[in-house]
A and B are shown apart, each in its own frame.
Chain A
């Protein structure tokens, strides 16, 4: 299994500002995943973060809006830039298990409200 922590757990932000979300894993992993969970909806993959290379973004998500850093094998950050109320969501960090490689482990999420 993997234990994942995220900071902050929640925040309320003003339109036009940016927020950086941190994700820390208790073990070294190659790939880390960032998801968005909009109110009442399922999870949508934003991007995959590999250590030592640029993140891979899913369709509809761009680096200028969601820059990601991956400085080492246990840590990643996701920034939500130039926020609007439509960015209000829960943002989740995730990794796959190193033993059960098809099982995902999730952080507790960051609940973002943009006014």
Chain B
């Protein structure tokens, strides 16, 4: 079945540091890939997505590239801010049924 593996946290960075959160997947077919973010006390919200190989999703300074050859979708940001502190979930959606597989989530803490 489908699966998503992402690095476990927590990840603690200083403000303006470079961020990478690794995500790899296993899926049948050609899934769409997502990063969702969950700020403290809130539900998940879509951060970015990519629907086919070599697509790059980007939003709020975050980027992730759909790499079919390495089955990866790593999240990056060049300079993190304290307001980026949240839990980040990698996810995939494959097949016709609207069912999404989520990774375990990576907690990011950015300190001033």
Taking beta carbons and an 8 Å cutoff, which residues of A are in contact with B? 4, 6, 31, 33, 41-43, 45, 92, 96, 101-109
Chain A residues near B42 (CB-CB < 8 A): 108-109
In terms of DSSP, what is the predominant structure of the interface of chain B? strand
Query: Which partner residue on chain B sits nearest A104 by CB separation?
Result: B100
Closest partner residue, chain B, to A9 (CB atom): B41
22 contacts between A and B (CB under 8 A): A4-B43, A6-B43, A41-B105, A42-B89, A42-B102, A42-B105, A43-B44, A92-B44, A96-B98, A101-B98, A102-B32, A102-B49, A102-B93, A103-B34, A104-B36, A104-B44, A104-B46, A105-B46, A106-B36, A106-B45, A108-B41, A109-B43
Alpha-carbon distance between A20 and B49 when the two chains are bound, in angstroms: 33
- Chain B contact patch, size range: 20 to 34
In the docked arrangement, what's the CA distance between A80 and B105, Å? Answer: 24
Q: Which residues 27-85 of B sit at the A interface, judged by CB distance below 8 A?
A: 32, 34, 36, 41-46, 49, 51
Q: Assuming the A-B contacts A101-B98, A102-B51, A103-B34, are A92 and B43 also in contact, with contact meaning beta carbons closer than 8 angstroms in the complex?
A: yes
* Bound form: Cα–Cα A90–B103 in Å: 16
Contacts of A109 in B (CB 8 A): 42-43
Residue of B nearest to A97 (CB): B46
CB distance from A47 to the nearest CB of B (A): 12
B11 is an interface residue with CB less than 8 A from chain A: no
